[in-house]
A and B are shown apart, each in its own frame.
Chain A
Amino acid sequence: MNSATNASIAVRMQAVNKWYGDFHVLKDIDMVVGQGERVVICGPSGSGKSTAVRCINRLEAHDTGEILVNGIELTDELKNIDVIRRDVGMVFQHFNLFPHLTVLENCTLALRWVRHLSASEAAAKAMHYLERVRIAEQALKFPGQLSGGQQQRVAIARALCMSPKIMLFDEPTSALDPEMVKEVLDTMIQLAADGMTMVCVTHEMGFAREVADRMIFMAEGKVIETAPPEQFFNNPAQERTLKFLNQILN
């Protein structure tokens, strides 16, 4: 593996296995995400897609196999984990905003205490990203006063404030009402257009078709198929993939 190849790989998973007690949740996962690539992971529930993505920033620890993020190996070493988490941002299904802080404070908290920016610098940077997701006018509101779609956009801005190189999305629109799904997907499409490396777990196939460079289909803990969207949707190689697509697209 020469350094040139390494530099262009954002995430590399090799033979990753994970157990929850006796339950084998990830079985020999091999996955590669290049820099600037947009990968969408789909599959039935319980297939391990969220677990695989959460292993990337060590919210879950893998048991065997190797995970490299931006060339750094993910182990129990706190230093490596810290460095990796600096470059990886995550957006959750249930937003996970801090309810006791305003929208602006949600975004500036990590900027002030992890990046050590001054109050004014942090506020300026936060406002820049809040404007980018078009929610700047809500900066002084509390998360509880916002709709679901607005909260998720704040969550995206909050993650972007840390200037990550890779953005992880764990079913970002699954907890939203249909009217609000569009505003979040539009934000994510804009993000993709700006060149962000994205790994997205989602059921939104329209979004996937538009944005993804590559689709990964997982079921029962295994990667079943990997293909660009045209091939994935029109001519899937695996039987299992076809079955899933028939279910979800009807």
Chain B
Amino acid sequence: MTAQPPTSRPQPGASPQGDPVISLRGLTKDFQVGGLFSRRTVRALNQIDLDVERGEIMALVGESGSGKSTIARCVIRLEQPTSGQIVVDGVDVVREEPRRASHEYRGKVQMVFQDPFGSLNPIHQVRHFLERAIRLHTGVGRRENIESTLEELMATVDLPADLLDTHAYELSGGQRQRVAIARALAMEPQVILADEPTSMLDVSVRIGILNLMRRLRGAKGISMLYITHDLASARYVADRTTVMFAGELVESGRSTSVMDHPAHPYTQLLLSAVPDPDRAGSYDPVERARLRNAVLHSASCPFDGDPNAGCSATEPVRHAVGDPADRHWVRCHMYRPSAEVAARALAADKSEDDDIAQPAARGKKA
């Protein structure tokens, strides 16, 4: 790491073996929005530090607009980060390949998109997608027979080999997503970025795709960054889960640890909203208002008073939670994201709208 480290102290949740497959440091992305006269900058990502270990599924959860897809789009180099480092497999790619990603990089990092109806050209046969990926990537000549490789790929994603000759438009959503995964696997990548890979699929086949992801991680040791708003699936499929809010990370750690013992009020807020048939009387408006207030205007932190904690309202200090093996940390509750960012993020609710549209009413509503 040559650029300035975010803090000098060792960060809770940092990589134990120090060789993560993806390592983001201070990743920041600004977008210019608005027209000629209302031009302004929106910060989609603010100083993201995140590690994905080899052979690990890391889930990135948060509400829409929290910046989780922007992280994936920066890593796959569809977006140019405003600042910060993206270190993949030991290479700082923004510095080494500033203009565009190299062929080699694209082979290492593959992406599976949300919509398998949009990501596969319907008029091509399944064979086309896989063959093209293999030939472009490995440089296998036109004449060489790659039939066995194709069949192997199909078997890996649990599709019968005779589907190789069907057209994409003939496939169901689940089958298409499996083809998209096979296409990513054809590159023999080290890491797959999966952006909501199951949200467009029919519910009954959803779990099959999640199981496939678990198996690829186990059998092939492929790392994944799994982006989702579905916390239950993150708990099911991911080794670790990181929670995003308003373009920043608020909590991270072993999935079961984060979900069963959420430490940050925003994580608690998200989890309390997940529909859960086993939980009686789930919605409590008073508790909801308390959590919302704690996210936006917290003035106290459970770690306050601990001289080693170093609570701060301006720096996103990380506090270690529970067993160190869980690598569970939570952002200091005292930290306040900028008012504009936070108000935009706790979206689609009346308190937020009051903040934006009726600033005068803000005091009395709180």
Q: Do A and B come from one complex?
A: no
Hey, which bits of chain B sit against chain A, CB under 8 A? none
